[in-house]
A and B are shown apart, each in its own frame.
Chain A
């Protein structure tokens, strides 16, 4: 069965935000060879859908609005921007220092990061990112 277009859009945007959060965690502008990115995005989408609807729904709407909003500031939808520019766009939100923006940035930054590192640890794949012997 094909996904409904809104859900497909949400998956794309969450994936882009999660990739950006992981790039921030690693301090780099590419994710070549980095494992568990897709799995992290899947868990994050599940978390969004599993939250109380008014919280999850709010975050989903913000994600979609943010994705569309970078057309005005960066000339393209967030998910279509190169990773380095996505990192800068997300950093701007983090810098806003007001509740809703912080919740949005924290959801992807903190929880996305935690989920990513958990995947690596649970699958004994930390070496792939941290180097041998970690």
Chain B
């Protein structure tokens, strides 16, 4: 077996790992980032393309949680993790949400006022901005429909950089980790081992001594004085459990279940060239978010209902149709286990009756908004059922959504190794150090005690910053 060594090994280069590595390298530590995926540039494949799915998505984008309703989920698997494939929508969580977290798992030094400086640093250093030229026709429509109903909406800033060309037009570039914190870590001397999968950690007497990795089909050993696991909400508990660490590990996965519908209007409302529309209805936060999605022809085909006559006519008219979503704070709590022999993850999570009711409420509100904005047809998220032509019909369906017959998906997963001082419900202390260990940490979305009730990447980065600075100072 080959041997490599480092003072600090960071497992995973998504937002949590990239933040940890950048700060540690800048503090003069000898840092090695070990990343399972490959090292692509942000423009190695067009966004939303088949090539991007091959390069940057785990399992080509096909992952499922099992329950009465299976939920498909997406994970990034490349240098930069989820930040390379996401829309980069940025939020701070509500102060009340952070206070709930603090009480739930007894997190020390976690008052909102102690956290805002970390969010401010993230906003400054990772380039959070709004598009200077408005946020697209579908956003305008969402605003208009919400306005008619007296509901508030908000344009959501993104991890994006906008540069104005000589012609005055703005060109945007996603500020993913491969554009920001990973190069920052490397400039400060960190080393990056891509295409290398961590299989398990070796440990003795409450100290990690090294990692066993798979690289080019061969097992290798890495010696480490400290290890920070940042492999994301599904993979981090897998690595810990494979290493024999099971205390509150992989027992409390939470997520934001999401459904999508297509809505057709008389006038043109869709400009796929614009990219992701960034308006959200925030009237029903924290439990529910309504918004619009990128609506290219392939995506419209994916979410519009199947009809006998096919989709050709409806897709020909794609500029009059857009995709809209309901995202809920899920109440189900799931588990992550590795299947024996296969060594693959089995993720189980119930979509609860409360979830269905909440999603139904969101669907009904979205229907009201879309019809108020002039929709002539809204697709039915229940498989095989006819599209809606008015809000009342939609409302009737939304009141009794069935288990197992809707395409429910998620891109926001967290809480699988919660942090806090109450070790009856947490896997780590208040700063991500794994209980019972002196040199093993978790620093990614797994740490959230509950849902952040907003798009999570900003919170992953801010918490990772807080915890990394503590680890480096302590």
Contact = CB atoms under 8 A, between A and B. Distances in A.
Nearest to A28: B310
B298 interface: yes
B302 A110 contact: yes
A28 to B, nearest CB: 7
A51 B302 contact: no
Interface in A9-67: 24-28, 43, 46-47, 50-55
Contact of B50 (A43, A54, A102, A110): A43
B366 to A, nearest CB: 21
Contact of A97 (B60, B307, B312, B384): B384
Contacts of B64: 55, 103
A52 B59 contact: yes
A61 to B, nearest CB: 15
A131 B316 contact: yes
How large, as a class, is the contact surface on chain B?
35 or more
B59 A98 contact: no
A52 B59 CA distance: 7
Contacts of B298: 114-115, 117-118, 121
A25 B309 CA distance: 8
B297 interface: yes
B115 interface: no
Interface stretch (B169-177, B261-269, B339-347, B465-473): B339-347
B315 interface: yes
B50 A52 contact: no
A114 B309 CA distance: 17
Contacts of A126: 297
B63 to A, nearest CB: 7
A53 to B, nearest CB: 6
Interface in A82-117: 94-95, 97-99, 102-103, 106, 109-111, 113-115, 117
Contacts of A117: 297-298, 301, 315
A4 interface: no
A54 B308 contact: no
B457 interface: no
Given A99-B404, A118-B49, A47 B60 contact: yes
A86 to B, nearest CB: 15
B297 A109 contact: no
Contact of B312 (A53, A103, A110, A130): A130
B306 interface: yes
B27 interface: no
Contacts of B60: 46-47, 50-51
B215 interface: no
Interface in A56-81: none
A105 B384 CA distance: 12
Contacts of A25: 301, 310-312
A130 B405 contact: no
A99 B311 CA distance: 24
Contacts of A28: 310
Nearest to B403: A99
A27 B308 contact: yes
Nearest to B402: A97
A55 B342 CA distance: 11
A62 B15 CA distance: 38
B108 interface: no
A113 B302 contact: yes
Contacts of A121: 296-298
A54 B345 CA distance: 10
Nearest to B319: A134
A89 B405 CA distance: 20
A130 B346 CA distance: 41
Contacts of B307: 27
Interface string B276-317: 000000000000000000001111011000111111100110
B62 A51 contact: yes
Contacts of A131: 316
B301 A113 contact: yes
Contact of A27 (B296, B297, B310, B345): B310
B316 A130 contact: yes
A129 B312 contact: yes
Contact of B63 (A46, A52, A97, A113): A52
A115 B62 contact: no
22 contacts: A25-B301, A27-B312, A47-B62, A51-B59, A52-B59, A52-B344, A53-B342, A54-B339, A54-B344, A55-B62, A102-B383, A103-B70, A109-B306, A111-B62, A113-B311, A114-B301, A118-B50, A118-B298, A121-B298, A122-B46, A126-B297, A130-B316
Given A25-B310, A27-B307, A54-B339, 18 more contacts: A24-B310, A52-B63, A52-B342, A53-B342, A54-B344, A54-B346, A94-B384, A98-B404, A102-B383, A109-B306, A110-B407, A111-B302, A115-B298, A120-B297, A122-B46, A129-B312, A130-B316, A134-B316
Interface of A: 24-28, 43, 46-47, 50-55, 94-95, 97-99, 102-103, 106, 109-111, 113-115, 117-122, 126, 129-131, 134
- What are the 7 A-B residue pairs with the smallest beta carbon separation, nearest first? A27-B310, A117-B298, A118-B298, A27-B309, A114-B302, A52-B344, A117-B301
